[in-house]
Structure 1
Amino acid sequence: MGAGWCPPGMLGIGIGGTAEHCMLLAKQALMEPIDMAQLKQRGPQNDIEALRIEIFDRVNALGIGAQGLGGLSTILDVKIMDAPCHPAGKPVGMIPNCAATRHAHFTLDGSGPAYLEAPDLDAWPKVDWKPDAAAIRVDLDALTPADVQGWKQGDRLLLNGKMLTGRDAAHKRIKDMLDAGQDLPVEFKGRVIYYVGPVDPVGEEVVGPAGPTTATRMDKFTRMMLDQGLLAMVGKAERGPAATGAIREAKSAYLMAVGGAAYLVARAIKGSTVVGFEDLGMEAIYEFEVKDFPVTVAVDAEGNNVHQLAPLVWRDKIAKERLLEGA
């Protein structure tokens, strides 16, 4: 799964029943509270609990870590529900549950519309984020190929200035227009593009939640976009081999924004204007004005990929130093 599901989170696993029912079991399992620490402390009392612990330990030993950048915590718990079935056709379903998933428990009784109480915001910790003093501030309005080629995988950047957006539908339309020899509504040469479809603003918001979408879906368009003179791309999770190769050949870069934090990411966006494909709604091309927009260099101009390198370092560190023993 890599980093596309925004780890750390939970794994819900369904075993048995029919193929459809086992997926329902996997989803239902995720509604249970996190209790892996308590389970490990008292020890497993049946095969299912023993399997939960085994999967938990093995997954965390992979060293994938938060956002796929390497670390001790890839999953916080494993939940398993099972049902009887014929042993010759035992289905198994798994659903990853990212840290940002919201749950609501309610009963539909047919009496009318549902009115759910808003959550108590005091239940969340107070977040007082300040820009990382060690991060590199980047002026997008004066960005050069030499600047991009100076970044190294793992570098933390704070983006400032104007940045274009575009995701699945916009990239597909760009391809169709280029194939037809048509002019594009936006000049991409020397620009940075953010893979996002922002939610409409409410009240005094400049933009609604605007978290990154999974970048691998744009892999098939990467070489095409780089041929337009694009300097860098911003998205979520890792890139595939083809996109990484295209980035290396173009001496470009791929930057990773934080997945699962769409509301917080939007706070770094100070202006938003539709500049192309307005009919696509949230998938139109926007121009964002950003201030201290935090990203990590995931693929640098040499093709070094932090999502490949960092987990390997942590996997080796976990094994050699036995970091998860007793955890």
Structure 2
Amino acid sequence: MTVIRQDDLIQSVADALQYISYYHPKDFIDAMAAAYESEENPAAKDAIAQILINSRMCAFGKRPICQDTGIVTVFVNVGMNVRFEADMSLDDMINEGVRRAYKLPDNVLRASVLADPDGKRTNTKDNTPAIIHHHLVPGDTVDIQVAAKGGGSEAKSKFAMLNPSDSVVDWVLEQLPKMGAGWCPPGMLGIGIGGTSEKAMLLAKEALMDPIDIQELQARGASNRAEELRLELFEKVNQSGIGAQGLGGLTTVLDIKVKDYPTHAANKPVAIIPNCAATRHAHIVLDGSGPAVLPAPALEDWPEITRETGDNVKRVNLDTITAEDVLTWQPGDTLLLNGKLLTGRDAAHKRMTEMLANGEQLPVDLKGRFIYYVGPVDPVRDEVVGPAGPTTATRMDKFTRTLLEQTGLLGMVGKAERGDAAIEAIRDNKAVYLMAVGGSAYLVAQAIKKARVVGFDDLGMEAIYEFDVEDMPVTVAVDSKGSSVHKTGPAKWKEIIAKRA
């Protein structure tokens, strides 16, 4: 009988979560490198380049790939010949591992888990509790898969109870445009089919733990219906033209994963869960010999890539920018931001709109300013700020018109597309929305030279900061006329791909 010691399991979970915070899986790096080589849309190619450069920087700096260090999901298979030498429950041991990982002083990870989700939404401060699934299986080891799932990609999950005769492929392709780019493509789609409603969702999540191997499947051919679906969907999703970060291009997904399970004769439950460009998962096995060890990747695992900027790059001084300057910017323009940039996301926007409604003065004047939708990781060592990539912009859509019209805010920086209501507000106020690349948080943080809290200090990572930035790269996503690159880009590349078919 194998004896698993309590601290070995705790430390193994903690080490695995630290590991995946700064190391991409090699299969992901290889797939992204191949996507970079084949991509023909300059904007999408640059986005992939930023993700790969960020990945390499994080591996060397041992800092998070993304500022959203995720909610932890754990799948545990406990061998029936295992005995635990522990005074804690299995769930408590795993949660202690999460706590230890997220509070490690050398690489503090952002705590994003909130208790009382429909009430006070109070941060638990240590990213616990994890979402834990366990099975008792034959054997004498404890097999653990850990993942850290970002909120932006998780928010794009879809579920439907289809009729038995309905097409899964048609349903997936129908959902794809509704998902937008907030899940940070290119990534993976996990698809669960069958069982019951909750089982389909669980299958989709579990599918994302598998390595990228679509090229191997293409070479050998499908041997069952799930593999047939993978091949068909991989081709058709990439024909959508959505592309990296939703900018339009040849690669929208790196792989499609499908798991199925027997279901009731009257049902066909289907779920989609996307994994983003910050794909983070690891597989560890405890056999009683001590904590599990994950090997560090080799330097040559990352391709040598440098960003290539075209003639449309403009250096912008945020301290002297005028409303007239913004009118000249075109969708797809690359800008390098310099000067003072405010931050604010969901909680700050909610509080600001409430203060405006009550006639109260905001803690900072937004007139003529730009606000960056971000909740940064706490700094360590000599950092000014920790990894600080953008959060999904559509969550701020309902606040956009109020802030533009009542404060004189000039521009916003975030991740992915804006909804129609926000685009109309931007057009009506001759403002602008700029897109930073999701999945390049550490790279973006290098452009931040100073950081200070200027409002709502009690909100922690959701407080309003003022960053001093130097050459922070962004793309004009919605211009002052209301033209959105997230609408024009995919439409253009879908047409290009269709003509080549």
Q: Structure 1-normalised TM-score?
A: 0.93
Give 1:45 shift. Answer: 2.2
Return the match for 2:345 from 157, 167, 171: 167
Amino acid in structure 2 at the alignment position of 1:74 = T
Amino acid in structure 1 at the alignment position of 2:415 = K
Q: Which residue of 2 aligns with 1:122?
A: 299
Return the match for 1:190 from 342, 357, 368: 368
Residue pair 2:368, 2:410 contacting (<8 A) in 1 also: yes
**Bigger shift: residues 283-292 or 133-142:** 133-142
Return the match for 1:271 from 430, 435, 450: 450
Residue pair 1:215, 1:238 contacting (<8 A) in 2 also: yes
Q: How does 1:52-67 map to 2 (within 5 A)?
A: 52-67=230-245
- How many residues align? The count is 321
Amino acid in structure 1 at the alignment position of 2:485 = V
Residue pair 1:139, 1:161 contacting (<8 A) in 2 also: yes
Q: Which residue of 2 aligns with 1:325?
A: none
Distance 1:27-1:110 versus aligned 2 partners, 3 A rule: farther
Return the match for 2:220 from 42, 62, 84: 42
User: Which runs of 5 or more structure 1 residues have no equivalent in the other structure?
Assistant: 323-327
Give 4+ residue runs of structure 1 displaced > 4 Å after superposition: 107-112, 114-118, 126-131
Residue pair 1:18, 1:91 contacting (<8 A) in 2 also: yes
Q: Which residue of 2 aligns with 1:316?
A: 495
Distance 1:277-1:106 versus aligned 2 partners, 3 A rule: same
Return the match for 1:233 from 402, 412, 415: 412
Give 1:110 shift. Answer: 9.7
Secondary structure of the 1:54 match is helix
- Distance (whole Å) between structure 2 residues aligned to residue 130 and residue 60 of structure 1: 24
Return the match for 2:318 from 112, 137, 140: 140
- Distance (whole Å) between structure 1 residues aligned to residue 193 and residue 296 of structure 2: 33
Residue pair 1:164, 1:286 contacting (<8 A) in 2 also: yes
- Distance (whole Å) between structure 2 residues aligned to residue 60 and residue 131 of structure 1: 24
- Distance (whole Å) between structure 1 residues aligned to residue 265 and residue 500 of structure 2: 40
Residue pair 1:13, 1:81 contacting (<8 A) in 2 also: yes
Residue pair 1:131, 1:292 contacting (<8 A) in 2 also: no
Residue pair 1:164, 1:194 contacting (<8 A) in 2 also: yes
Amino acid in structure 1 at the alignment position of 2:384 = V
Q: How does 1:6-21 map to 2 (within 5 A)?
A: 6-21=184-199
Deviations 1:278-324 (A, max 9, x none): 111110000001111000000000000000001000001100122xx
Amino acid in structure 1 at the alignment position of 2:438 = G
- Distance (whole Å) between structure 2 residues aligned to residue 182 and residue 110 of structure 1: 61
Q: Which residue of 2 aligns with 1:289?
A: 468
Distance 1:76-1:145 versus aligned 2 partners, 3 A rule: same
Secondary structure of the 2:233 match is helix
Distance 1:177-1:102 versus aligned 2 partners, 3 A rule: same
Deviations 1:4-41 (A, max 9, x none): 00000111111111211221111111111211112112
- Distance (whole Å) between structure 1 residues aligned to residue 427 and residue 202 of structure 2: 42
User: Which runs of 5 or more structure 2 residues have no equivalent in the other structure?
Assistant: 1-178
Secondary structure of the 1:88 match is coil
Return the match for 1:80 from 245, 252, 258: 258
Give 1:87 shift. Answer: 2.5
Give 1:273 shift. Answer: 0.6
Residue pair 1:273, 1:287 contacting (<8 A) in 2 also: yes
- Distance (whole Å) between structure 1 residues aligned to residue 209 and residue 258 of structure 2: 11
Distance 1:110-1:38 versus aligned 2 partners, 3 A rule: closer
Q: Which residue of 1 aligns with 2:109?
A: none
Amino acid in structure 1 at the alignment position of 2:363 = P
Give 1:131 shift. Answer: 7.5
Distance 1:115-1:175 versus aligned 2 partners, 3 A rule: farther
Give 1:126 shift. Answer: 6.0
Determine whether 1:205 maps to 2:396.
no
Deviations 1:48-103 (A, max 9, x none): 21111111111111100000000010011111111111121221111101121211
Give 1:122 shift. Answer: 2.2
Give 1:117 shift. Answer: 4.5
Distance 1:220-1:108 versus aligned 2 partners, 3 A rule: farther
Amino acid in structure 1 at the alignment position of 2:468 = E
Q: Percent identity?
A: 64
Distance 1:110-1:27 versus aligned 2 partners, 3 A rule: farther
Give 1:262 shift. Answer: 1.1
Deviations 1:157-209 (A, max 9, x none): 01011100000000011011111111111000010000001111011111011
Q: How does 1:20-35 map to 2 (within 5 A)?
A: 20-35=198-213
- Distance (whole Å) between structure 2 residues aligned to residue 119 and residue 286 of structure 1: 35
- Distance (whole Å) between structure 2 residues aligned to residue 310 and residue 109 of structure 1: 51
